[in-house]
Amino acid sequence: MFAWIDWVTGSAGRFAGKPGRAGFGLAVALMVADGTATPVLAWDYEVHRLINQLALESLPTNYPAFVREPAAAERLAFLGGEPDRWRNTPDLHLRHCNGPDHFLDIEDLALYGLAPERLTAFRYELVAQLAEGRIRYASNFAQVDFSRDLDRTRWLPGFLPWTIAEYYSKVKSAYSCLREFEAAGTAEERRNAQENIIAFMGIMGHFVGDATQPLHTTRHYNGWVGPNPRGYTTSRGFHAWIDGGFLRVAGVDTNALRARLRTARTPWPESPLPNTNCFPEALAYVLAQSRFVEPLYQMELQGHFKTNQPMSEVGRDFLGDQILKAAQMLGDLWLAAWQEAPEDKFLKNELARRKSGSRTNKSGSSANP
């Protein structure tokens, strides 16, 4: 079996002895043309693929047509699973920078003296605040055992909304470049710019999908931890069951999800605050999904995710709703990135100089002559 299955079964956890955080790894039973359910034996990849496909279908007809070309659409769907495939490597540098991008343990922010609604829009400013918080509120934190934290991420609460915002900016920048190449570039440059857009859009979709799996927004990501007066499950198989096991049995009606899909729309009435890109919206989105953590545990307690009794529609419908929510948000952000891509003045000037014969560089780089 592929190495990434370890992230579902729990052999490669962020904390020693705990299962790792797979992506929104739901095993989907895709619907065939006659409307009957056919189980697909996959874990995280199939739902991330589905989210990207639904998001693509949500885009308005005036969205750039190249994203719907068969090869582009297939690559867009394939790349929905790429950030989880990065987890396969034993390279600690990649695990260090990639792992925390998939989650945000919102409850843990208070340990650092940080309020979720007032977080900085900038990743490295946040890192500085976390370091300061660990010093100021040292009594809130246990000593880190670095022998069990080889990739040095155990102390981090995660970066999920920052990751979403950063990929949004990459898509936006790529559209800025494409517009300049469409005006004054070569056919090769236009195609390369389009492929960059597909790459950023597809990878961005993974993280937007992660956010709608509530267990990616909480310290209770794999069974309830700490005081537990309501008796929620503490099973270390809970994350894997929600990510894959349950829907592997229950299935999800993808035709029904498509029937509810609305056309993408810009997710804010006006452009975000200057220089923050979509971070306020990304943060609000992640915080909104975190409110489903306890309801998810309540549904488990009430038996809605069990398979040794008549199948519960409640659990299946909840997870289907979350899949649809991810696809809609992703389509909205893709639309906004295209609509709000600014003029790339540097590239425009470089292409004009090239046309006039004063420059021959075709890279579009910002290097000085």
Query: Over the stretch 6-28, which tens digit does the pLDDT of each residue have?
Result: 222 233 333 333 334 544 444 44
Contact 45, 51 (CB under 8 A): no
> Residue 60 class from Cβ within 10 Å (0-12 exposed, 13-18 middle, 19+ buried)?
exposed
How confident is the model over 277-313, as pLDDT tens digits? 799 999 999 999 999 999 999 999 999 988 666 567 8
- Of the candidate ranges 22-36, 79-93, 126-140, the one whose mean pLDDT is the lowest: 22-36
Work out the burial of residue 102: count CB atoms within 10 Å of its CB; fewer than 13 is exposed, 13-18 middle, 19 or more buried. buried
List of domains in the chain: 5-141+148-355 (1.10.575.10)
* Range name among 40-44, 51-55, 358-362 with the lowest pLDDT average: 40-44
Report pLDDT digits (tens) over 306-362.
Answer: 866 656 789 889 999 999 999 999 999 999 999 999 999 999 999 999 999 864 455
> Looking at residues 74-97, what average pLDDT do you find?
94
Q: How far apart are CA 302 and CA 305, in angstroms?
A: 8
One-letter identity of residue 269: P
CA distance 50 to 210: 13
Rg of the chain, C-alpha, whole Å:
22
Distance CA 51, CA 46 (A): 9
pTM score, two decimals?
Answer: 0.86
Q: What is the DSSP annotation of 179-202?
A: HHHHHH--HHHHHHHHHHHHHHHH
Counting every residue written for the chain, the total comes to 369
